[in-house]
Structure 1
Amino acid sequence: MVKGLSQEQKLTIKLKTKLEKEIAQLEQKLIIEEQIKMRLTQALQIKDDKINELEKKLVTLDQERIKQLKDKEKELSKIEKELINKLTSGENTKEIHKEKEAKQKEMNELQQELSRISASYNANRKKRILNQVNNFLKVKGDFLTLQEEAIKKLQNCCNHLESSINKEKDTIGSIEDIKTSKFIDKYTKEFQSILVKYNDGLLELNKNYYSLKNVVQENKELNSFNLDKYKIFKFATNSQEGTRIQLNSNMMKEDINSLRKNLNELNQKKNELINLATV
């Protein structure tokens, strides 16, 4: 302990040390919890992928069985016609009647199975589409939340740029171009790093979109969905994909307003794909 300190100062130092230790412990705990959360998320994703694969196999198996049954149905229909022709041509024997009844029974059983498998196929197919749509809508919702968060951070960045320049002007009455350029460099870098970070959220949306598209590619409803509307740099045009060297506050405001307008439009169409679940 440092000599010459008052009792109050000693207590303050002791309390500060204790608090710093507790903060460090909490930070470590938070890191561990984040790691656990990440592992659980990965495990859930693996589980979802397996379920999706099994559902896909079920649909494929039903599809194959339906084809087999329809081929068999055609074959039985052909045999029945041949038997009817024999009966009408005078070959009215017990054997032909017996064979006809057997084929009719087989046809009835086949049609019952075909009806059952078709119902299973439609249910599994609809379930798979519904799961894909729900997954997509969840990711889409997360993406829109991220974009809203990004807009707030971009606005703060723009505000900091303006306040830094204004503060310098108020302090010395004017501001040199070099000083202004320094502020712009700093906040341009921050502004564009925010855009790049949140644009990465599009990758997950993109993956789910194409997964959904593969499942329901025959549905025209999907054509109304335009993935380009979710590309941040499609609207933050002044940033030029995060490569522009300098952005002044007006350019930042233009990008922010463009993103905000885009976000409002996307929120209005939040349920645009839900009708796919009823196909």
Structure 2
Amino acid sequence: MVRFVRKGHQAAANAVVPLPVRDGVAPSYLWITATRTGGMLAFLEERFPAIAGPSWAERLARGDVVDAHGTPLQADSHVRQGMRIWYYRELEHETPIPFEEGIIFQDEHLLVVDKPHFLPMIPTGRFLRETLLVRLKQKFDLPHLTPIHRLDRETAGVVIFSHNLATRGTYQSMFQKRSIRKVYEALAPVLHGRDFPFTYRSRMVDGDKFFVMREEEGEPNSETFVELLETRGDVARYRLHPHTGRKHQLRLHMASLGVPILNDAFYPVALPCKGDDFSAPLQLLARSIAFDDPLTGEARRFDSRRALAWPA
């Protein structure tokens, strides 16, 4: 049996990359940790039996699969322990996402972006070129661009990218130290029986399905400060301050309070996948991010120009 380690959309920062970024797509790589017979084509076809895109025979013939030195591999090339294979992830068909990102700020270190709903952050699953990272690499020719935090595909708003390897760790440390001040807005049903503002805490753990979270009894590991901004009929606009950064924290907390965010297809119940239906965006917006710049000490704040859509 061949064991391997695969990097997804982007190579490790300290790796020597023998393939360039192509049309915004960074090469992926695969470590081979056991020798096998049969040749490279047989190995790749066995490892990726349901690959969506050009066949491995076609990719090998084009010279798009190389070793760590950039030497193109052939169908009959040996598969040896310790090899690192580089290749481009490709999709034969990808549905265009008809929403554009906006640029809020750029300097020699950071690119701050206003992400639309439905656009994934990075290549994954059925998304490759229709992702924020690949779009930005294509537009700005920034091969070292990478997000220093993430937003769900369904969430819109402010997100920060680093494109300077020398200072990336410094900016990433702000999120690790929780020195970033993030503010979200959400539309959800009116919450009765609570005095605003208030803090909601719970213990969040992985759910039964890999893509959702749930709450359980125990020491809280998540905290959200909730403010009420306005109401219109049965719907309210809330300002949410996450003091922790758990996956789907705001979505789960609002659902647990009995007021799930409008158009949430995961909480309180995971609904069937809507595929390429763009008609009902999740009404959650990363409104602003503020921090003291770790390089200059300057107070910075970046705000989304987007607005949530009240129901008619």
Normalising by structure 1, what TM-score?
A: 0.17
Larger Rg: 1
Q: Which has the higher contact order (CA 8 A, sep 6+)?
A: 1
Relative to its length, the structure with more helix (as a share) is: 1
Relative to its length, the structure with more strand (as a share) is: 2
